[in-house]
Structure 1
Amino acid sequence: MGFFDEMMDHQLDLSQVKDRGNKKWVAMMLPEHLKLIREYVDDQNKIPKPELDEWDLDIIQENIQIAMKRNVDVEVKTWKNGEFNIQIGSISWVDLKRRTIEMEDVFKSYVIQLDEIVDVTVLE
């Protein structure tokens, strides 16, 4: 039996190996590299903005008008920087010049850009 035959019969015990995982590689990276990697991971988690057609925009406009006439709450879904947000409240004002709507809920009032709105649902 030769040397290689003995090595093949002997099993390697990996329980004694203490690997530091990614820690050993992070120490070799420059801060610029780490920043780029973090930005890449953040970009992968972002949701692309939905493309709205004229039909979608008409429905949004109609729901805003209904909510203002009936003075009822709405759920406004917005998209900004790759994330969806939902605000619930009543629409107090629409400013077409600035392309914004002003909403109020129980706690505060806020302004939403019309270009950020992807859906409006009337809550009755």
Structure 2
Amino acid sequence: MIINQDAPAEYKYESDYRNIPREYLNPRIPEGRGMVKWAPFATIPEQHERLNQFKQDQNKIEKPELSDDQLNELNDTLILKMFHEPNIEVSYFEDGYIQSIEGYIHKVDTHQQILHLYEGTGLSKINLKDIVEIK
């Protein structure tokens, strides 16, 4: 079956258009509508928001489980920082992501299990159970 009747003999049976020089291709082949065809989907804001939320949720991780040794090491580091070097960088788990914050230790509330830090924007509270690393 001859696919390209107007092309030279070497390209008559070629089915892959990428292997045919441009001058032998039909210039009237439609190129499509590009991104115009997707525009109606952006008119449904709820669906658009939901798709964006799905994208964000794909990057979320589960809360890391720390061993007893790791918890003891975090506790020792926190005590050392409290009494000798109150400047601290804390990495903690929040809503599917690991966040980092740097500041000065204000106090550690052992009853409510909360670390109070002074940082650039004010006082921050971090749940001790969410801390994964202290530097």
Task: Report deviation, 1:32.
Answer: 4.2
Instruction: Identify the match of residue 110 of structure 1 among 98, 106, 124.
Output: 124
Larger C-alpha radius of gyration, 1 or 2? 2
Instruction: Identify the match of residue 44 of structure 1 among 54, 58, 78.
Output: 58
Paired residues for 1:52-63 under 5 Å: 52-63=66-77
Equivalent pairs: percent with the same residue? 22
Paired residues for 1:19-34 under 5 Å: 19-21=33-35, 23-28=36-41, 30-34=44-48
Report the aligned-residue RMSD. Answer: 3.0
The TM-score with structure 1 as length reference comes to: 0.74
Inter-partner Cα distance in structure 2 for 1:52 and 1:14: 64
On the 8 A contact 1:68/1:91 being kept in 2, the answer is: yes
Provide the residue aligned with 2:113 in structure 1: 99
Inter-partner Cα distance in structure 1 for 2:28 and 2:132: 54
Moved more, 107-116 or 29-38: 29-38
Task: Report deviation, 1:16.
Answer: 6.0
Larger RCO, structures 1/2 (Cα 8 Å, 6+ apart): 1
Q: How many residues align?
A: 119
Provide the residue aligned with 1:87 in structure 2: 101
Moved more, 109-118 or 7-16: 7-16
Provide the residue aligned with 1:65 in structure 2: 79
Inter-partner Cα distance in structure 2 for 1:81 and 1:7: 63
The unaligned stretches of length 5 or more in structure 2 are 13-23
The unaligned stretches of length 5 or more in structure 1 are none
